[in-house]
Structure 1
Amino acid sequence: MSFRTPGLGDQTYLLTHEGKGVLVDPQRDIGRFLDAAAGRGVELRFVLETHLHNDYVSGGEQAALRTGAELVLPAAAAAAYRHTPAFHLEDIHGGSGLILRPVHTPGHTPEHTSYLVLIDGEPVALFSGGSLLVASAGRPDLLGPERARTLARLQHISLRRLAALPPGVDLYPTHGEGSFCTATGAGKLTSTIGAERADNPMLAIDDPEELADTLLAVPMPIPAFYQYMGPANTLGVPPMPPVRVPELDRPAVGTHVVDIRPRRSQSRGMLPGSLGIELDDDFGSWTGWLLPYAEPLTLVAEPGQEVAEAVTQLAQIGIDTVRGVVRDLGEAATQTYELAELDAFVMRLAQPDAQLLDVRMPSEWEQARLVGAIERFLPDLFAHGVPAELDPQQPVFVACASGRRASIAAGLLAHKGYQPIVLTDAGVPDLVAALHKRDAA
C-alpha cells in the first residue's frame, strides 16, 4: 500500500509479504504508517531509505526503534545512527522467499540506492526513490551547482541500469507530481519498467552530456528549507513531539505570526506583519520556505479550525516551534487586501496605469505569459523585496496559478503599504484567455 504526502509530492510504501512488512521512505509522522501495519496484522521487518532526503525529515530511524525493524540505508550515506548498510547487489534476505536487492543508483544524490524486490527469485517491484521517476528523473542539482553536472551524468548511468530490468517489474518512486525533487513534471505516481522504457523522455536520451544539459537546462527553484534536511537525516532527529497547541490571547512574544485561515478571512483583516498562508496540503513547505527556518511561530486560525494538520506539516520538515494559536483577533486585524473573481479582475485591469504582478515560478512564465506584468517568483518577493517598479499609491493586481500564492504575496504587499488585489479561484492561463477574449471583442 502507498501513503501520499501531497504537500511534499512524495509517496511512502508499505510492502507486505506473508505477514511481514517493509516500509520505504517514511516521513517523520510515522504513526500513520505503523497504524496501517498494525491494522493489517503486519509485523514490520525492514525500514528502507533510498537516500538522505532533501525535502523532509525522515521517520525511518524512529520507525525502526519503535518496532524493532531493521533499518537499511545506502552504505555511502554513512548516517550517524545505527543501521544496516546497503551495498550494491548484496541481497538482504527477508525470509519466506523475500529478497531485497540494493541497486546503487547515484544521480539524485551520490549515495542513492534503489531496492529491487524479488519473491521466490522473481523480480516483481522496484522502489526507485529519486532515481527513475514516472516520466521523469530525480533532480541532480539539489546539493549545489558545483556537483550538479557530475550527478547528472551519474543519473544517466543509473536510469539505464534500472531500465534494463524486466519490463513487468512495477515501479514505485518516492518523488512524484508536486515534488521539487523532480527534474521535470512527474506524471502518475507509479508505473512499470516497460512503460517507462516506452514513454519516459529521460530514457530516450542516449548521451550522458545531453541528459545533463536537459536536466540542468531550466533550473527549478530549491525551497529554502531543503538545506537543513540532509544534515538532519544524516545525524538523526528526535521523535515527532505530540501535537499540542495552547490557545493564546495574543501572539507569543518573539514569534513569527502565520495566519492559516482561508484567504477570504485573511483579506478582511490580518494582524499587521503576519504571513498569510491558508491551510492546505503545501502549508508546511511554504512556511519553511518563506520564514527563517525553525524560528518560533504563532498560528492564527478561525474559531474551531483544526490546527493539528498545520503542526504536523511543519514537523515533517523539522519545525517543532509552534508556540500557540490565536483565534480572536478583535480590532487588531487591520492589514487587509482585496479579492477579485476573474471577470471583475479583467474589468479593473482596464484602468489606466494598472500594475500587474505575476508571482508564479519562472517555468510557469514560459508556459503562459502576461504582457506587461512584473514577474517576481513568490519566494524572491520575500527574499529580495517588492519590485521598485510598483507604485504603492496605485493598486497592485496580483496573480498566480490559482490565487494561493497571490494571496500569500498580498499579505506582504499590504504590510509594506501597497494596495493588493488578488485574482482568486483562477490563474494566469485563465487570465490570458480572458484578456485575449476582451481584446478581440
Structure 2
Amino acid sequence: MFFKQFFDKKLAQTSYMVACQQTKEAIIIDPKRVVDEYGEVAAQEGFNITQVTETHIHADFASGLRDAAGRFNATVYVSDEGGESWKYENMPEDTVYLKDGDIINVGNVELKVLHTPGHTPESISFVLTDRGGGSDEPMGIFTGDFLFVGDIGRPDLLEEAAQMEGTTEEGAAAMFDSLKTVDKYPEFMQVWPGHGAGSACGKSLGAVPLSTLGYELRNNWVFDYDDREAFIKELTSNQPEPPSYFAQMKKVNKEGLPGFKVKDVEVGTPDELPGQLFDLRSREEFRKGFKKGAINIPYNDKFLQFAGWYIDYDQPMTVIGNPEDSRVLQEDLASIGYDNLQLIVPAREAEQYYDDAYENVSAAEFISNFKDRNILDVRSASEYNNGSLENAHHLHFGQLDEKEVPFDADDTIYVHCQSGVRSAIAMSALKARGYDNVVNIKDGYAGLIRAMQ
C-alpha cells in the first residue's frame, strides 16, 4: 500500500492519496481544487488515479472533487447521508453515493464508510484496511472534520456561516454520538485528520499531522465528557469567528465550480482600477502611502486566512503586488473559490494611485495617556474576553466592512490587535469605510501589557 499526506499550510488543510501497489490504482481523499500535485505524485509512482472522494461538503476551502474527476477521469464517491438538504448537486453521472457501512475498494485496499455527523449532517469518515498487505485489522481512519489531533470539528458553521438557525446544538449532539462510534476500533488505529493548527474548523487543533485513536482517547479533551449536555456546552463555546467566505464555500462545494485554469492576467497601470482592490505589500510599505479603498493583506502564508474575510465574490479584483506571483496568486484564490482576478498593478509602479496614509503610535507612547481615548480592539472575541483595556470597544478585524463601528466617522480612533498584524489590516478597512482619523497601535495588546508593567 502507498500512503501520502498533502498539507496546504496556507489553509491548514490536509488531503491524502492512497494507492494499491499491486494494481497501481489510487484514490484522492479531500482534494484541494488545484490538483496538479496529485497528478505529479501519481506519475512519479506509476499510479493511475481511478477514484476521488471527500468526507463532507467543505466550508473552509474550495473542493477539488469535480476537478480531479475531470482531470484524471476518476470515479467520484460522496456521502449520501444527512438528509435531502445535504445532497451534492451537479455531479458526474457515474458518481457513487455512500451510506454508512459501504466499502470503497482501491485495488486491494479497503475504505469502509463510517457516518460521523456533527460538524455537518452528511459527514463521513473512512476506515482503511490494507487487505493487499494481508491484514484484517484497520490501519487508520480518515476523519475529515470529525476528529482532529487534540480537538473535534466545530458544529456551528452551518448556523454561523450559512445562517441555518438551530443547527449548532443539533450538530453538537450528533457529534457526541459520533464519538461513540469509534469505541469499537483498536487503539493502535491511526487518526488522519482533515486539518491542523491554524484552521478555523475547531478551537484547539494540534500541529502534529496525525495521531492514534489510543492517544486521542487519553489526551483529547472531547473524550473527557460522559455527560451530553456538558459536552454540548463546552463544544459550542469559544469557537473562533468563521471567515465570511465560509458561507460561499458551502454553496459552491455543494453545487460545483467551473474547472480551474490559470489564465493570463492583465498587468498595467490603467486610469481606472476594476473591482475590489487588494494591496499585497507589507504593512510597513502600505502605511506610508496607499490608494484609499484598498484592503492591505500582505502576500504571505496568512494571505488566504485574512483575505477571505473581505473578498466580494460578485466583483472582479485588482491587486497591487508582484506580477511574477500571478500564477500562484490565481491558484491561492481558486482554493477559496475565487476566479476573477483581472488586473495586477506592479507595486513599483503604483505610487501614482496613492492618496492616503496612516499614523502609527507605539504602545509606550499610547499608554502614557489613554484613559479618555477611543480604542477599538480588533482581536477575536475569545482574546478580548481573556483580557482587554477597560475602555476598549471590540469589533473583529474581519467584520469591519459589514458591522457597525462603535464610533463616529470623524472621531480619532486608536486601533489594536494582539501584535500589530490584524490591526494593520483593520486600518485599511476603516480607511476604506471613511474613518479618516484612525491611528494604529503598532505593538498591539501584547505591547500595551508590557508598557503597563
TM-score for the superposition, normalised by structure 1:
0.90
**Structure 2 SS opposite 1:398:** strand
**Structure 2 SS opposite 1:57:** coil
Is the 8 Å Cα contact of residues 273 and 318 (structure 2) preserved in structure 1? no
**Structure 1 SS opposite 2:309:** helix
Letter in 1 for 2:80: A
Among 350, 373, 393, the residue aligned to 2:368: 350
Provide the C-alpha distance between the structure 2 equivalents of 1:9 and 1:335, rounded to a whole number of angstroms. Answer: 34
Provide the C-alpha distance between the structure 1 equivalents of 2:203 and 2:367, rounded to a whole number of angstroms. Answer: 36
Shift of 1:241: 2.1
Provide the C-alpha distance between the structure 2 equivalents of 1:373 and 1:125, rounded to a whole number of angstroms. Answer: 48
Corresponding residue of 2:115: 104
Q: For 1:253-276, what per-residue CA distance to the aligned partner results, in whole angstroms no more than 9, with x for missing partners? A: 551111111111111111121111
Among 5, 25, 34, the residue aligned to 1:29: 34
Q: Which ranges of structure 1 fall in alignment gaps of 5 or more residues?
A: none
Letter in 1 for 2:451: L
Q: Does 1:70 align with 2:86?
A: no
Q: Assess, with a 3 A threshold, how the Cα gap between structure 1 residues 436 and 54 changes in structure 2: closer, same or farther.
A: same
Provide the C-alpha distance between the structure 2 equivalents of 1:185 and 1:149, rounded to a whole number of angstroms. Answer: 21
**Structure 1 SS opposite 2:400:** helix
Q: Does 1:334 align with 2:355?
A: yes
Q: Does 1:413 align with 2:430?
A: yes
Q: Which moved more, 1:409-418 or 1:9-18?
A: 409-418
Shift of 1:179: 1.5
Shift of 1:289: 1.9
Q: Which moved more, 1:167-176 or 1:68-77?
A: 68-77
Is the 8 Å Cα contact of residues 243 and 312 (structure 1) preserved in structure 2? no
Provide the C-alpha distance between the structure 2 equivalents of 1:355 and 1:134, rounded to a whole number of angstroms. Answer: 41
Among 157, 178, 185, the residue aligned to 1:165: 185
Corresponding residue of 2:452: 436
Is the 8 Å Cα contact of residues 167 and 194 (structure 1) preserved in structure 2? yes
Matches within 5 A, 1:171-250: 171-250=191-270
Is the 8 Å Cα contact of residues 358 and 438 (structure 2) preserved in structure 1? yes
Shift of 1:242: 0.8
Corresponding residue of 2:158: 143
**Structure 1 SS opposite 2:357:** coil
**Structure 1 SS opposite 2:251:** helix
Corresponding residue of 1:383: 402
Q: For 1:39-80, what per-residue CA distance to the aligned partner results, in whole angstroms no more than 9, with x for missing partners? A: 232322321200011112110122122212222111235322
Q: Which moved more, 1:114-123 or 1:376-385?
A: 376-385
Provide the C-alpha distance between the structure 1 equivalents of 2:324 and 2:444, rounded to a whole number of angstroms. Answer: 27
Q: Assess, with a 3 A threshold, how the Cα gap between structure 1 residues 243 and 203 changes in structure 2: closer, same or farther.
A: farther
Provide the C-alpha distance between the structure 1 equivalents of 2:6 and 2:121, rounded to a whole number of angstroms. Answer: 26
Matches within 5 A, 1:284-295: 284-295=304-315
Shift of 1:391: 5.8
Is the 8 Å Cα contact of residues 21 and 43 (structure 1) preserved in structure 2? yes
Is the 8 Å Cα contact of residues 288 and 314 (structure 1) preserved in structure 2? no
Q: Assess, with a 3 A threshold, how the Cα gap between structure 1 residues 405 and 163 changes in structure 2: closer, same or farther.
A: farther
Q: Does 1:154 align with 2:163?
A: no
Letter in 2 for 1:53: H
Q: For 1:207-239, what per-residue CA distance to the aligned partner results, in whole angstroms no more than 9, with x for missing partners? A: 222221111123532222222222212222211
Is the 8 Å Cα contact of residues 419 and 444 (structure 2) preserved in structure 1? yes
Provide the C-alpha distance between the structure 2 equivalents of 1:293 and 1:69, rounded to a whole number of angstroms. Answer: 29
Q: Does 1:311 align with 2:333?
A: no
Provide the C-alpha distance between the structure 1 equivalents of 2:304 and 2:400, rounded to a whole number of angstroms. Answer: 18
Corresponding residue of 1:114: 125
Q: Which moved more, 1:254-263 or 1:218-227?
A: 218-227
Q: Does 1:84 align with 2:84?
A: no
Letter in 1 for 2:51: F
Shift of 1:370: 2.9
Provide the C-alpha distance between the structure 1 equivalents of 2:122 and 2:293, rounded to a whole number of angstroms. Answer: 42
Is the 8 Å Cα contact of residues 138 and 182 (structure 1) preserved in structure 2? yes
Is the 8 Å Cα contact of residues 163 and 197 (structure 1) preserved in structure 2? no
Q: Assess, with a 3 A threshold, how the Cα gap between structure 1 residues 362 and 198 changes in structure 2: closer, same or farther.
A: same
Among 57, 61, 64, the residue aligned to 1:56: 61
Q: Assess, with a 3 A threshold, how the Cα gap between structure 1 residues 367 and 5 changes in structure 2: closer, same or farther.
A: farther
Is the 8 Å Cα contact of residues 19 and 106 (structure 2) preserved in structure 1? no
Shift of 1:31: 1.2
Report the RMSD for the aligned CA atoms in angstroms: 2.2
Provide the C-alpha distance between the structure 1 equivalents of 2:304 and 2:260, rounded to a whole number of angstroms. Answer: 15
**Structure 2 SS opposite 1:365:** helix
Q: For 1:398-431, what per-residue CA distance to the aligned partner results, in whole angstroms no more than 9, with x for missing partners? A: 222332211111113334243434344x542343
**Structure 2 SS opposite 1:2:** strand
**Structure 2 SS opposite 1:198:** helix
**Structure 2 SS opposite 1:406:** helix
Is the 8 Å Cα contact of residues 294 and 319 (structure 1) preserved in structure 2? no
Displacement over 6 Å in runs of 4+: none
Shift of 1:251: 6.8
TM-score for the superposition, normalised by structure 2:
0.88
Corresponding residue of 1:127: 142
Is the 8 Å Cα contact of residues 413 and 419 (structure 1) preserved in structure 2? no
Q: Which moved more, 1:235-244 or 1:179-188?
A: 179-188
Is the 8 Å Cα contact of residues 160 and 203 (structure 1) preserved in structure 2? no
Provide the C-alpha distance between the structure 1 equivalents of 2:19 and 2:176, rounded to a whole number of angstroms. Answer: 31
Identity of aligned residues (%): 27
Letter in 2 for 1:180: A
**Structure 2 SS opposite 1:240:** coil
Shift of 1:339: 4.1
**Structure 2 SS opposite 1:409:** helix
Is the 8 Å Cα contact of residues 202 and 239 (structure 2) preserved in structure 1? no
Shift of 1:23: 1.2
Letter in 1 for 2:148: L
Q: Does 1:93 align with 2:141?
A: no
Letter in 1 for 2:154: R
